[in-house]
Amino acid sequence: MVTFISHRGESYDAPENTVSAFKLAAERLTDGIECDIYFTSDGVVVCCHDENAKRTSGHDALVTATPFDELRTWDFCNGKEQYKGEKIPTLQETLACLKGNMQIYIEIKRGNVEMVPAMLKIIDESGVPQDRITMICFGKEVCARSKELRPELKTLWLTSYKEENPITAEALIAELKSCNADGVDIYGMPTFINAEFIAKVKAAGFYFAVWTIDDENRAKELADAGVDSITSNRAAAVMKALRH
């Protein structure tokens, strides 16, 4: 059965990368959540997609150049007035939102290799079983470091290719082997990502996840084609449509 992951939480309805979005995913019983992490200037690991907080908080400042206590005073409701006053969460607070057997995909942003040991320490302290956690990153060095420090932690290489410039399954397999990843998390809208393509990658022993699929028809195509996981801004709605 395909796993449905709420992208930055149930971000279609709640502010992305916030406790409210993560808790909404838990309430709606999606299979898991995805979040993005950075260091603050004083070394706190927080969840935010953009390095600059302007889009989500209105403050034109880099998360990585701002101390946590200051970030915490800002409103991250991102224009969703019913969530006014929403705070930027730490990774610890995000992990605490998981209920039951929910999974979490943690994306290390900007290929920051130094975040790997910090992330692992927080995971270990959280008590969340490691088999419910997946590390994802566009940076191959981060993937390789994750597997070096914690071989048993599922690690997926994030990537994206345009319709007019597709990658072959064979080339993708080579990329995954080069960074010792357990699989791929690839943008799933291009039509070259089909049953034949997916089957080749999975036959080589790799996990196959796709992002970010909000269209129910495309989600069904991908599920029928054999993907293991679908990340969506409206994961609960897509999951309900496909599992009815």
For residues 54 and 152, give the distance between their C-alpha atoms in angstroms, rounded to a whole number: 37
3-state secondary structure the chain: CCEEEEECCCCCCCCCCCHHHHHHHHHCCCCEEEEEEEECCCCCEEECCCCECHHHHCCCCEHHHCCHHHHCCCCCCCCCHHHCCCCCCEHHHHHCCCCCCCEEEEEEHHHCCCHHHHHHHHHHHHCCCHHHEEEEECCHHHHHHHHHHCCCCEEEEEECCCCCCCCCHHHHHHHHHHCCCCEEEEECCCCCCCHHHHHHHHHCCCEEEEECCCCHHHHHHHHHHCCCEEEECCHHHHHHHHHC
pLDDT of residue 61: 98
**Which pairing describes strands 32-39 and 45-47: parallel, antiparallel, or unpaired?**
antiparallel
Whether residue 107 contacts residue 155, with contact meaning beta carbons closer than 8 Å, is answered with no
pLDDT at 94: 98
- Identify the bridge partners of residue 37 per DSSP, sorted by sequence position: 47, 108
Token output for 163: 């319709």
Q: Residue type at 89?
A: P
Among candidate residues 33, 32, 67, the one with its CA nearest the CA of residue 53: 67
**Distance between CA atoms of residues 219 and 241, nearest Å:** 10
Quote the CA–CA distance of 212 and 15 in Å, as a whole number: 16
pLDDT one digit per residue (tens) for the chain, 244 residues? 999 999 999 999 999 999 999 999 999 999 999 999 999 999 999 999 999 999 999 999 999 999 999 999 999 999 999 999 999 999 999 999 999 999 999 999 999 999 999 999 999 999 999 999 999 999 999 999 999 999 999 999 999 999 999 999 999 999 999 999 999 999 999 999 999 999 999 999 999 999 999 999 999 999 999 999 999 999 999 999 999 8
How far lies 125's CA from each of 128, 188, 242, in Å?
8, 34, 36
pLDDT at residue 244, as a whole number: 82
In this predicted structure, what is the pLDDT of residue 126? Answer: 98
> Which CATH topology does 3-243 take?
TIM Barrel (3.20.20)
CB within 8 Å of 181: residues ≥ 6 apart: 143, 147, 155, 156, 157, 206
pLDDT of residue 68: 98
Q: Is the pTM of this model over 0.85?
A: yes
